[in-house]
Amino acid sequence: MSRVRVYELAKEAGMTGKDLADKLIAEGYDVKGHSSTVDEDTAEKIRRTMLQNSETELVEKRIDASQGATVIRRRATIIRRRPKAEQEEAAEETTEIEQAEQDGTGDSDADRTAVQAEAEEASILRQSGAEEEQQSPAGETAEPAEEVAQPAADADRDETPSTETDDGALAETVEDSVAQPGEPDDREAAAPPAKSKKVERKTIARVVGSIDLPVPDESDTAERSRPKKMARSTASKTGRPKIAVEFQPETPAEASERARKKGKRAVGTADDDDRDRRGKGARKGGKKSVKFTHFDADYQRGGKRGKRGRKADKRIAPSTIEMKASKRKITVFDTITVGDLAARMKVKASEVIAKLMGLGVMATMNQVVDIETATLIATDFGYEVEQGITEEIGIQLLDAQEEGGETKMRPPVVTVMGHVDHGKTSILDAIRKTDVAEGEAGGITQHIGAYHVRSKAGDVTFVDTPGHAAFTEMRSRGAQITDLVILVVAADDGVMDQTKEAINHAQAAGVPILVAVNKIDKDNADPDRVKRELSDFGLIPEDWGGQTIYCETSAKKNVGIDELLENIQLMAEMLELQADASRKAKGRVVEAQLDKGRGAVATVLIQDGTLRNGDYFVVGQYSGKVRAMRDDKGRPIREAGPSAPIEVQGLSGVPLAGDEFIVVTDEKMAKNVSQARSMKVRETELAAGSKISLDKLFEKMSEGDVQELRVIIRADVQGTLEAFAKAAEELSTETIKVRVLHEGTGTITESDILLASASDAIIIGFNVRPTAKIKDLASRENVDLRSYDVIYHALDDIRKAMLGMLDPTFEEEVIGTAEIRDTFSVPKVGKIAGCFVTDGAIRRNAGVRVVRDGVVVYTGKISSLRRFKDDAKEVVAGYECGIGVEHFNDIKVGDQLEAFVMQQVEAKLD
């Protein structure tokens, strides 16, 4: 049974530990002082008998731990506020950093309650941390307590992290994390110890950029309650971020958005969890120590700083990012246009262009240069360039912070590839039968594009994507999820087309191959032939002195499957596949779709860390909170570790396969990153919109009047493809060339769209249908994507596309004729012809030709058209009317007036 300290009981009742200890001694309890402990039952008795006047309602939650049990109490109702002196006394007694309190300013009761409740939680957790170095994660067991304590936690989240003080500085009062007995807290060296160990940190955060740093939220609160984390919360948090930041291009809109936010103060909050990780990193000397509070402070320009802030500056002096305010400095977010760079340096764009030419870069005013180039140029003009902070950098810093933890072996992620009918499915089925966990699923096997098998040899995750999508789609997004490929080759058939393709894909992706020579039960099986053939591709068997593992299998007879699984594990060991289950999760989307009932759902392969219900995340351009998770067998789960394929609910949109899934600190960060990414996507769309326009195409043409229609063709079979491609190219004329940029069998892929987008091409699919995701991508990239079943229709559309690209031409269409039978002179108007419409119709504002004796004497416009005294829009054949010809008075009786309009006509190809 766990024990409770007297001062904790005292705190519950709002009295000092000493007072209570004295009372208890007087009552004959077996205690010696305020640090003495009593067992749970005694504690309860004391509460009932001696602490009756407490206004506190306790919520208890017992955490079962491997080495005992600890009671967590959190106050769910308002706690009476104690005088400050008493608090300080309590703080001294408990040797802990207690609660935040803003001097003299309107803290609400709820606010105080939250802080106090949290302090108490920390205190108890500390105790548990001290008593039990390693606890099981709070996870499931701690959750009810979290839920009950929600109101306090909410208040905490909303109110306590920071308060703006009168002088405009951002005063942030934080509970410092707690030193373990015997472990020095390095942070105390960094910051002068405050009286009663309250640490008030001032962060005046006028940031370059706009990373609104995360305030701990619900999920963090949950994490704080993890005793394991608390045990790590003691080490130094000094040290500067040594991160190779890969800067993402920043769009002008982002830049302006950031500019808009510039004046805004950012709240630098180091949540406990982050501190925990830093602590661990410092001890292990491995994890990078990135402190967001300091990070924030580091980017401030001017303004007041607290002592900690100044100290932090000394410690953290990023070389690449200069903080000092200077007139000769410009901030660049990854890229900048030449014109903008010149304007910021107050020089002429031509001067910048000349400098660029000196560097061998030919650029126009509107072209963008990267930050490195901008730095070179700016230096020549006596300016320094500082890196603006983007949301992307924020996420990279967070990721870097999470790195360096303790890693363990993780299951390999495997893709099975091979020629059609060589036995891929059969091998997977045979492997599945070995799944020792299969029975647990109760027969419900859900297809989510990947599944996990627990074999006797070890766990394996199979990515079950058709064809080579696992590589092509993923690679186009710079992603790689597969650790190794099982290449299935039928022993009776040998190396075939798709075998070669599979090898190419795997080798291009740098993924090791394990060969399964299947169907060895067949009479004509010839495994040696397979080995010989594959050796030509560099897959030399081990027994021939090479390095490739070959397994001979018969999926049908269930031969060699165990050996195959063992070899998978062997290779996994050689690959040293490691992951840190304690970090925030990150992974890749295997597939995603919109489910009618559940909204956007994605199959995510966790690559590192542990994903939990309630975690906030960013996935591609979307964000979300894990509302529910299912494993590959459709069972609801609460958390998922490395190499687990899971289905996640709670996404704001449908991401693409290969998109990165990364857990972030809180909802705000998730939304900010996703907003920034969406904005970038929208800008790409706009850019794409103008990309395929006729004007741009003309600009790009360097062959005079000759235009080129680029086409990407996809067909179901090679024969059709060839015929179709030939016919399409034969459509070329002198004015337009049709160029087949790329052709291939199979469905339209993401890389086709990207290629089309990059090269102003249209895509024609013949007997292939793009997936919804591909269609979506095409529309985002503004790529014209068409699918046909009949060659003729497709060719016809190409012809039309070509016509659409020609300059529009106009032809004159005669709409009516009239005979002048009289003329009148009207003052201020001029001569009016009294006419009889002989043919068609005469329309006001139409063009008119005056024809005399068969010769056109004038061509102009009809200025007035009247029937009797009224203006008319149109006068048809058989009627009389008065017609005025603009700027022409020399009309004569007997002249013919021919009315015409200009009509745009379809361009002709010859």
Nearer to ligand GTP, 76 or 534 (CB): 534
Angstrom distance (rounded) from CA 544 to CA 551:
14
- Binding ligand GTP (rule: CB under 6 A), the pick from 51, 539, 555, 585 is 555
CB of 554 to ligand GTP, least distance (A): 4
- Does 352 carry a binding-site annotation? no
3-state SS of 79-138 is CCCCCHHHHHHHHHHHCCCCCCCCCCCCCCHHHHHHHHHHHHHHHHHHHHHHHCCCCCCC
Residue 730 identity (one-letter amino acid): E
CB of 529 to ligand GTP, least distance (A): 16
CB of 647 to ligand GTP, least distance (A): 23
Angstrom distance (rounded) from CA 779 to CA 782:
5
- Does 447 carry a binding-site annotation? no
In the region spanning residues 128 to 187, those forming contacts with ligand GTP, defined by CB under 6 A, are: none
Nearer to ligand GTP, 429 or 812 (CB): 429
Supply 109's token pair.
Answer: 């009761």
Cβ contacts of 513 within 8 Å, gap of 6 or more: 484, 485, 486, 487, 503, 506, 507, 539, 548
Q: Does 424 bind ligand GTP (CB under 6 A)?
A: yes
Supply 326's token pair.
Answer: 């200077």
Beta bridge partners of 329: 384
Beta bridge partners of 881: 835
- Binding ligand GTP (rule: CB under 6 A), the pick from 62, 261, 454, 556 is 556
Nearer to ligand GTP, 420 or 855 (CB): 420
Nearer to ligand GTP, 502 or 740 (CB): 502
Angstrom distance (rounded) from CA 69 to CA 379:
63
Stretch that binds ligand GTP, among 134-142, 151-159, 347-355, 554-562 (CB under 6 A): 554-562
CA-CA distances (angstroms) from residue 16 to 6, 10, 90, 194, 298?
Answer: 9, 6, 6, 21, 41
Q: Does 541 bind ligand GTP (CB under 6 A)?
A: no
Q: Does 519 bind ligand GTP (CB under 6 A)?
A: yes
- Does 424 carry a binding-site annotation? yes
Angstrom distance (rounded) from CA 228 to CA 882:
98
Supply 399's token pair.
Answer: 């990721």
- Does 518 carry a binding-site annotation? yes
Nearer to ligand GTP, 424 or 844 (CB): 424
Q: Does 522 bind ligand GTP (CB under 6 A)?
A: yes
- Does 536 carry a binding-site annotation? no
Residue 701 identity (one-letter amino acid): M
- Does 429 carry a binding-site annotation? no
3-class secondary-structure state, position 597: coil
Nearer to ligand GTP, 350 or 504 (CB): 504
Task: Give the N- to C-terminal CA distance of the chain in Å, as an integer.
Answer: 95
Q: What is the CA radius of gyration of the chain?
A: 38
Angstrom distance (rounded) from CA 22 to CA 615:
46
Beta bridge partners of 192: none
CB of 427 to ligand GTP, least distance (A): 7
Q: Does 786 bind ligand GTP (CB under 6 A)?
A: no
* Backbone φ and ψ of 657, nearest 5°: -60, 135
CB of 453 to ligand GTP, least distance (A): 16
- Does 464 carry a binding-site annotation? yes
- DSSP codes joined into one string, 576-595: T-EE-TTSBPEEEEEEEEEE
Q: How many residues does the chain have?
A: 910
CB of 523 to ligand GTP, least distance (A): 10
Nearer to ligand GTP, 171 or 489 (CB): 489
- Does 500 carry a binding-site annotation? no
CB of 562 to ligand GTP, least distance (A): 15
Contact 763, 777 (CB under 8 A): no
* Backbone φ and ψ of 311, nearest 5°: -60, -45
CB of 608 to ligand GTP, least distance (A): 31
Nearer to ligand GTP, 61 or 531 (CB): 531
- Does 767 carry a binding-site annotation? no
Q: Does 433 bind ligand GTP (CB under 6 A)?
A: no
Residues 468-507, one symbol each (x = binds ligand GTP by CB under 6 A, - = not), give ----------------------------------------
Q: Does 465 bind ligand GTP (CB under 6 A)?
A: no
Angstrom distance (rounded) from CA 884 to CA 889:
8
- Does 413 carry a binding-site annotation? no
Q: Does 426 bind ligand GTP (CB under 6 A)?
A: yes
- Binding ligand GTP (rule: CB under 6 A), the pick from 293, 518, 548, 767 is 518
Nearer to ligand GTP, 500 or 556 (CB): 556
CB of 772 to ligand GTP, least distance (A): 23
Alpha carbon of residue 230 to chain centroid: 30
Angstrom distance (rounded) from CA 287 to CA 279:
9
Stretch that binds ligand GTP, among 55-63, 363-371, 552-560, 705-713 (CB under 6 A): 552-560
Stretch that binds ligand GTP, among 149-157, 551-559, 631-639, 730-738 (CB under 6 A): 551-559
- Binding ligand GTP (rule: CB under 6 A), the pick from 92, 521, 667, 716 is 521
- Does 505 carry a binding-site annotation? no
Nearer to ligand GTP, 9 or 768 (CB): 768
Strands 513-518 and 484-490, how do they pair? parallel
Nearer to ligand GTP, 74 or 519 (CB): 519
Residue 320 has what DSSP assignment? S
Angstrom distance (rounded) from CA 843 to CA 815:
8
CB of 487 to ligand GTP, least distance (A): 11
- Does 420 carry a binding-site annotation? yes
Supply 244's token pair.
Answer: 């190779």
Angstrom distance (rounded) from CA 602 to CA 592:
4
Strand ranges, E, within 41-193: 58-65, 68-75, 163-164, 170-174
Strand ranges, E, within 570-718: 578-579, 586-595, 599-608, 611-612, 616-619, 622-630, 636-637, 639-640, 645-651, 660-664, 707-715
In the region spanning residues 364 to 423, those forming contacts with ligand GTP, defined by CB under 6 A, are: 418, 420-423
Angstrom distance (rounded) from CA 431 to CA 216:
44
Q: Does 563 bind ligand GTP (CB under 6 A)?
A: no
CB of 657 to ligand GTP, least distance (A): 20
In the region spanning residues 673 to 702, those forming contacts with ligand GTP, defined by CB under 6 A, are: none
Q: Does 562 bind ligand GTP (CB under 6 A)?
A: no
Q: How many residues make contact with ligand GTP (CB under 6 A)?
A: 15
Strand ranges, E, within 154-265: 163-164, 170-174, 199-202
- DSSP codes joined into one string, 47-76: HHHH-TT----EEEEEEEETTEEEEEEEE-
Nearer to ligand GTP, 95 or 425 (CB): 425
Nearer to ligand GTP, 368 or 450 (CB): 450
CB of 674 to ligand GTP, least distance (A): 37
- Does 641 carry a binding-site annotation? no
Q: Does 554 bind ligand GTP (CB under 6 A)?
A: yes
- Does 423 carry a binding-site annotation? yes
Contact 291, 268 (CB under 8 A): no
SS3 content of the chain, % helix, strand, coil (to 5): 35, 25, 40
CB of 540 to ligand GTP, least distance (A): 24
Q: Is 657 exposed, middle or buried (0-12, 13-18, 19+ CB in 10 A)?
A: buried
- Binding ligand GTP (rule: CB under 6 A), the pick from 256, 425, 578, 809 is 425
- Does 419 carry a binding-site annotation? yes
The binding site comprises 418-425, 464-468, 518-521
The binding site for GTP comprises 418-425, 464-468, 518-521
Binding site for ligand GTP (CB under 6 A): 418, 420-426, 518-519, 521-522, 554-556
